[in-house]
A and B are shown apart, each in its own frame.
Chain A
Amino acid sequence: MFESPSGSRVREVRVPGFTHLHTVSGFSLRYGASHPERLAERASERGMDALALTDRDTLAGTVRFAKACAKEGVRPLFGVDLAVEVPGRGRQERRRTPVRGGAFIDESTPRVTFLARDGARGWADLCRLVTASHAGEGTPLLPWADNMADGLTVLLGPASDVGRALAAGRPDRAAKLLAPWREVYGDALRLEAVWHGRKGTGPGSLRLAARTVGFAAEQRIRPVLSNAVRYADPGLGPVADVLDAARRLVPVDATKELDSGEAWLKDEGAMVQAAERVVEAAGFRRDTAHRLLEQTRATAAECLVDPEDDLGIGTVHFPEPHLVGAGRRTAQRALASRAAAGMVLRGYAGKRPYWERMHRELDIIAHHGFASYFLTVTQVVDDVRHMGIRVAARGSGAGSLVNHLLGIAHADPVAHGLLMERFLSKERIALPDIDIDVESARRLEVYRAIIGRFGAERVATVAMPETYRVRHAIRDVGAALSMDPADIDRIAKSFPHIRARDARAALEELPELRQLAGEKERYGRLWELVESLDALPRGVAMHPCGVLLSDASLLSRTPVMPTSGEGLPMAQFDKDDVEDLGLLKLDVLGVRMQSAMAHAVAEVERATGERIDLDAVPDGDPATYQLIRSTETLGCFQIESPGQRDLVGRLQPATFHDLVVDISLFRPGPVAADMVRPFIEARHGRAPVRYPHRDLEGPLKETYGVVVFHEQIIDIVAIMTGCGRGVADQVRRGLSDPESQGRIRTWFAQHAAAEGYDAETIQRTWEIVEAFGSYGFCKAHAVAFAVPTYQSAWLKAHHPAAFYAGLLTHDPGMYPKRLLLADARRRGVPILPLDVNRSAVAHRIELVSESKVWGLRLALSDVHGISEAEAARVADGQPYASLLDFWERARPSRPLAQRLAQVGALDAFGANRRDLQLHLTELHRGARGSGSGGGQLPLAGGRKTAPAGLPDLSSAEKLSAELGVLSMDASRNLMDDHRAFLDELGVVSARRLREARHGETVLVAGAKAATQTPPIRSGKRVIFSTLDDGTGLVDLAFFDDSHDACAHTVFHSWLLLVRGVVQRRGPRSLSVVGAAAWNLAELVELRAEGGLDVVAARLAEPVPEGGGDSTGGRRIQMPTGYELHPWADLRPAGEEPAKVRKLWHQSPGSAG
């Protein structure tokens, strides 16, 4: 210790670079206000050598933090802040349940900071503690029994039980509480002093910090100084207040204690000052501050966890070979023998090219040592198939023959010209990924099977942090600021789904927000706070498809928590972290279309006894391709969107290969680059097929000289430069990066010249490679996609009723169910109403006796608010003889029974629907108290229900009830009711529109089905929408000159009347370019109330003038080179049409 009276000598003892040992990032849900990257960046700017990340209850930020620290040159320390169960703390008295608003969030559990000290052991301890704290019910809490570890340093701060006793002025009690901690952690225990300039003796006060330091000296425990950091920069206190409010679900109360504003990543000078104040207040001399800082530094220096060695970043862990069927052999041997067996099984044994390719692929796999990986996937796929679940591989993995031989991929890669190198090559370092598609409805079953096969210690699902975007940010900030809930809801809903930080820019620039922008000032600090929440995690969900597979060491490398709904083990890391950590991730995607097709096939078999094997349906079925060419492809996998229907109409696919090309062409890149037009011209013989050089005819012939697939680029580069395909794939990957593109260009020119190509050919080829290289689509993907596309179209062509039953049951695709129903009606499938004596839980097919056509019987599961158990009970009890019988045996809840009556499911029991409701109410009243009759059949035999003289539902009320209860207009199309008014207006129906001339101005009307603002080559924002008017679909496009007039109406109305100009691009390609739009529901009401003159007055109202491009020409430059409108490619404002359950109006007398 330096005895020094002068300030300058004190300076000398300062410890270089203060280390913050207690820092949280935004991953501490609704607590930390800064991203880990920002913390690392600020630490580096403020001259710190090391920084700890100790998030609350989670390690999810670790990987991002470690990477950011590596970039900034800061040594990362890893830790966690956990709520710890205190031994002997009795259960608290339960308070009365509030009648409104819910109970307070209990945050009274003491919290303690744990830092990983001892390398891998420390990290494993940390993971174990986090896993243990999430194991129990309710909020994460570390049980005392699990609270022991050798590799950790423990900081007892103001929030710990010891700190609280000190704050309460009870050092005696603090000493007693300290004893168990000292027993477990001994020398690794530290007392943490925090000074946030608060008054009193609470957390953050000078007196508590001083007491802590004094108590530490008395107890001979080393004290450390921290700043309990919640945000990187000063001035973020209000954001912390909002986060506190959002976490506790209460408004910010300015009269209570708010955040001190001091919990930022303070630099060394400020921390030295703090140390001096604290030791002085503790009664020591000012220069003892350096000892406090020295202790802090020493504690940081002890914590040695290396991100590479100890966390395992950059190493790969596969499940042990004996678990994947290798027995005592090496994984590579087992893989080779299984592949060879596959050759024989699939009848390729006599084909030499197959053998050569197989051996080449096996060599590459051996080179990387990935054999276990392939065996693992095979094992999973085999297990899934044994469970009778449809499974298919997707992704570049379909390009590997070995995958095909192992039964992972269906399509034969040699026959389809797919390349292994796109998937895996000696040059490629990244872990390859094989994605498998399973039926969505049975995805969790698959997960459980995988866990069962490999054990819970090797398998975990992957987390997906849900981050703040504008709508949630507005809701949480608005609630914190005590805004009117109705205002909050309205403001949140008017925004498209954009990033929170763009809120004010969107208000300035988006035409549909103009009205809101006018009242912007009223909400004060709302916008600023909304933007400051941008991208902070606000919750964590299970990633919809990733499954981690590892060896038995998984739990010592990854913290695992149960998912909220399903209770599956879930790693806290997200999918990118997992890859960085070298954990093997298998993507098991639940595909709704697979479930829908499985249901359709099962229905056909149930009703007719005919067994369909979809995987064995022969290619080239004329009826299927005729259906596809007619563009009536609603519900077909991948080809149902408006853009795809347009493309299919122009391309007119006739073979499976055409479907593959079609799917590849309909990607943002190719559409934007207008690769579509030359291809279609060449295909229909309107333009000659050209090749840059005759050597390239081989790879380019199948697509008429247009580059469509990644595989073609690989081949072109490989042929022109003579390098291997592995290298060529690396080159292709480099093309999307503008920096490496220049280098590749030189390299390409040199090597192609060396191969003897002339300068002009090289130039032309390079142009193609450069322009299309990064846009193309992986052919292996496209082939994998095209299989279900063909299968679904085949089902639609041959078993339409079953197809729609599958679609409606599993709801795949982009359109609301009511649109699928309208499509079924148009294609002549009879829609049979809901009937408790006939409907099953899922949608069924039924032979309609008079017409001998298969019809579609609506399902009980679509009734709003029906539970699975209720639906099953209703279905099991069929048939029912009378209303009483139904009531007693199916035992529906009263609201459910009422809804069934409203939609006519009980019509068979006589009386009108309102009378039925009255009877149900009385049955309900009678049943109350006396207990239900169980499964006994009623003896009394009144078959028909007596009428009560109530007025029946009117036709409009019935339709409204159907929409409200089933979300579908089941009996007829809802537009039919407005036919007379639409005729008055001179609206052209979708059917008649097909005969309209190009350039003709028309009026169209309908219910909105889907609205999108996809990225467009021109860098403009175009609103695409689809209307359904009962006779067909009308595809609309609104360009930005009409947005001021239309955008708000289009986004926020459900029924639309649109004036526009017909655009024709082919015999089957037709769209309407909108110029003006009105809310049809409003007009219909005006017509009903005030007649045509009122409607005319409404139409005569001036529309806002087009202000041109409000962004001032701002564009986002995409890595692929084209420009994107800043507000394109977003989920637009307003409610999704699928959620609309109400008709435009609801009279007080309407049902429901």
Chain B
Amino acid sequence: MTILCVRFQLPPMHEAALPGLLGLLEEFTPVVEALPPDGALADLRGAERYFGRSAVELASVIRVRSLALHGVDCVIGAGPGPMLARLALRDAEPGVTCAVPEDAVAAFLADQPVAALPGVGAATARTLGEYGLDTLGLVAAAPLSTLQRLVGAKAGRELREKANGIDRGRVVPNAVSRSLAAERPFHRDELDADRHRRALLSAAEELGARLRALDKVCGTLTLTVRYADRSSTNRTRTLKEPTAHSAALTKAAYGLYEALGLQRARVRSVTLRAEALGPAEQASYQLAFDPVDEKLRRIEEVADRARAKFGPRAVMPGTLAA
């Protein structure tokens, strides 16, 4: 009953507002774990005693502050551990905090679908569903060996523990969100490769600028292409060295895009996501004899300063200005 899982109801593409909202939670407890794009876990063990209120009461306070300060509503679930708090969040709605009491865990879990469990993805849920194990109650009742045959030894053991309400997770504070995303939607089915590339360039520029503003570098880049039929393709690439350099990100993004070989696919949006963020000062950088790269970085630095002064559209690649 001491862990809260909060999901802020942010409008899409506003995940930049998350750090501010996390600050709000940190007023109650230092143990806050961000769940990008719009959620967070907060451990209130100390806060309950300090504020003299229960976690559920504190949840109401958090909601009120969030609405008053940021104009953002939120949904809150409470439970004895992070996993249970997350599960509780599924049943909560604005104004109604769902709390799982410690003595009613088994009853609460029994009817939950397996897909609700953190760490159970679509593939695992489908596998379990195929074998009739679609609720956590059924999973808890199944023999361990059978579960392990289904999903593997380690995953099977963990699945069974979780289904039985054994929550070994802890809330690990992580200061800022672990990824940044930039989406470029098209207003109609877009097949033109040049326009796709232009969108990627613009997204990579944005990511680079945002990373540099945060003094971060990213280690991997993920490209998500959404199609007219609501399906999508994901491709991830680990960068040779962590970077926040727009030119390097653009090159990686183009590489990801070329590998798809799209021709007639009806693309409705492209999203670039920078992941594995780390502090810029710890990033390694391979020096080269070629001065071009060095020059580009300096230009970028200048451009960043110009943008800081005259607004984000002050300096941009020529192809995007047209």
Interface residues of A (CB under 8 A from B): 95-104, 249-251, 253, 255-256, 482, 484-486, 898, 914, 917-918, 922, 948-953, 957, 1147-1149, 1151
Contact = CB atoms under 8 A, between A and B. Distances in A.
B316 interface: no
B227 A948 contact: no
A918 B131 contact: yes
Contacts of A951: 132-133, 138
B134 A101 contact: no
B263 A101 contact: yes
Given A950-B132, A1148-B129, A1149-B132, A102 B264 contact: yes
B102 interface: no
A1073 B234 CA distance: 55
Contacts of B130: 898, 917, 1151
A949 B188 contact: no
23 contacts: A95-B261, A98-B261, A98-B264, A98-B265, A99-B233, A99-B261, A99-B265, A101-B264, A101-B265, A102-B263, A104-B263, A251-B188, A251-B266, A482-B188, A485-B228, A917-B130, A948-B143, A948-B149, A950-B133, A1147-B134, A1148-B113, A1149-B132, A1151-B130
Contacts of B191: 250-251, 253
B213 interface: no
A98 B143 CA distance: 44
Contacts of B262: 98-101
Contacts of B135: 1149
B189 interface: yes
A249 to B, nearest CB: 6
B264 A485 contact: no
Nearest to A949: B143
Contact of B146 (A898, A948, A1151): A948
The 4 closest A-B pairs by CB, nearest first: A101-B265, A96-B261, A1149-B134, A482-B189
Contacts of A917: 130-131
B131 A104 contact: no
B227 A100 contact: yes
A950 B146 contact: yes
A949 B262 CA distance: 46
B229 interface: yes
A957 B258 CA distance: 45
Interface string B99-113: 000000000000001
B243 to A, nearest CB: 26
Contacts of B229: 485-486
B167 interface: no
A104 B264 CA distance: 6
Interface residues of B, number: 37
Interface in B206-265: 225, 227-231, 233, 258-265
B314 interface: no
Given A99-B260, A251-B188, A949-B142, A482 B266 contact: yes
B233 A100 contact: yes
A1151 B145 CA distance: 22
B302 interface: no
A631 B233 CA distance: 57
B150 interface: yes
B93 interface: no
Nearest to A953: B132
Given A100-B262, A482-B189, A914 B132 contact: yes
- Chain A facing B: main interface SS: loop
B198 to A, nearest CB: 13
B293 interface: no
A915 B249 CA distance: 49
A832 B188 CA distance: 54
Contacts of B264: 98, 101-104, 249-250
A335 to B, nearest CB: 59
A482 B228 contact: yes
A251 B265 CA distance: 10
A482 B190 CA distance: 9
Given A482-B189, A914-B131, A950-B132, A98 B228 contact: no
A255 B188 CA distance: 12
A464 B105 CA distance: 67
Contacts of A918: 131, 146, 149-150
B244 to A, nearest CB: 29
B192 interface: yes
A100 B265 contact: yes
Contacts of B188: 251, 482
Contacts of A1149: 129, 132-135
Contacts of A251: 188-189, 191, 266
Interface string B145-156: 110011000000
A87 to B, nearest CB: 28
Contacts of B228: 482, 484-485
A483 to B, nearest CB: 9
A99 B232 CA distance: 11
B259 to A, nearest CB: 8
Contacts of B149: 918, 922, 948
Nearest to A952: B132
A486 B227 CA distance: 12
A360 B130 CA distance: 73
Which of A96, A100, A484 has the largest number of chain B CB atoms within 10 A? A100
Contacts of B146: 918, 948-950
Contacts of A950: 131-133, 142, 146
A490 to B, nearest CB: 13
A444 to B, nearest CB: 34
Contacts of A952: 132
B124 to A, nearest CB: 13
A493 to B, nearest CB: 16
Nearest to A102: B264
Contacts of B145: 948
B156 to A, nearest CB: 12
A926 to B, nearest CB: 12
A957 B259 CA distance: 42
Contacts of B113: 1148
Nearest to A256: B192
A258 to B, nearest CB: 14
Nearest to A103: B263
A486 B231 CA distance: 12
B170 to A, nearest CB: 30
A526 to B, nearest CB: 14
Given A950-B133, A953-B132, 12 more contacts: A96-B258, A98-B260, A99-B260, A100-B262, A100-B265, A101-B265, A253-B191, A922-B149, A950-B132, A1147-B134, A1148-B115, A1148-B134
Contacts of A922: 149
A459 to B, nearest CB: 39
A113 B261 CA distance: 35
Contacts of B265: 98-102
Nearest to B225: A100
A957 B134 CA distance: 13
Nearest to A485: B229
A953 B133 CA distance: 11
Contacts of B189: 251, 482
Contact of B230 (A99, A486, A898): A486
Nearest to A99: B260
A521 to B, nearest CB: 19
B98 to A, nearest CB: 21
A650 B252 CA distance: 79
Contacts of B133: 950-951, 1149
Nearest to B186: A482
Nearest to A97: B261
Contacts of A256: 192
A1147 B115 CA distance: 13
A101 B131 CA distance: 33
A854 B18 CA distance: 72
Nearest to B262: A98
A893 to B, nearest CB: 16
A917 B129 CA distance: 12
Nearest to A105: B264
Nearest to B192: A253
